[in-house]
Amino acid sequence: MSYVRLAGLPFVDAMTPAVLVLAGPLTRDGVPGLCDDVRALLDATGAGTVVCDVGGIGPPGLATIDALARMQLAARRAGGRIRLRDPDPSLRALLGLVGLAFDVEGEAEEGEPAGGVEKAVEPGDPAL
C-alpha cells in the first residue's frame, strides 16, 4: 500500500468537528456499524475527536452503555476519541455508575478552569 505525502500540514477545520448523530434506542446489532462510522469519520476528517450527539437516543440502558464503550474503543484504536454532545442526566449517571468516563461538550477539561471564570487577585498577593 502506498500513498503520496502532501506538502505542509493537513487541513483540519476546528470549527466544524466530525459529528455522528445517534437516534433511537441503540441495539447490539447496530454497534459494529457505529464503530465503522466512528473509524470512517476519524479517517475522513483527520480530526482526533468525533462528537457523538446522544440527545435523541431516548432512555439509556446497558445496550447504550455497551455501544458507547465499544465506539470509544474503536476510536482509540484508530488514534482518536469520542466526545458526547447533549447527554441526558440519566445517561451521565449510568456512565458514572459503570465507571466509564467520557468528555462532554461544553464542559471544561480536567485541570482547566470553567469558561468565563477568572482568577481573582487580591491586593498584596505575590505575583505568580
In a domain, residue 110? The reply is no
Q: How confident is the model at residue 58 (pLDDT cuts 50, 70, 90)?
A: confident
- To 10 degrees, the CA torsion angle through 108, 43, 22, 87? -10
Range of the domain at 91: 18-102
In a domain, residue 90? The reply is yes
In a domain, residue 74? The reply is yes
Question: Which CATH number do you get for residue 92?
Answer: 3.30.750.24
Alpha-carbon distance of 100 to 67, in angstroms, equals 12
State pLDDT tens for residues 75-102.
999 999 999 999 999 999 999 999 999 9
* 120 or 54: which leads in pLDDT: 54
In a domain, residue 116? The reply is no
Q: What angle do CA 59, 104, 97 make, to 5 degrees?
A: 55
Looking at the structure of the chain, the number of domains it has is 1
Q: What angle do CA 112, 75, 71 make, to 5 degrees?
A: 105
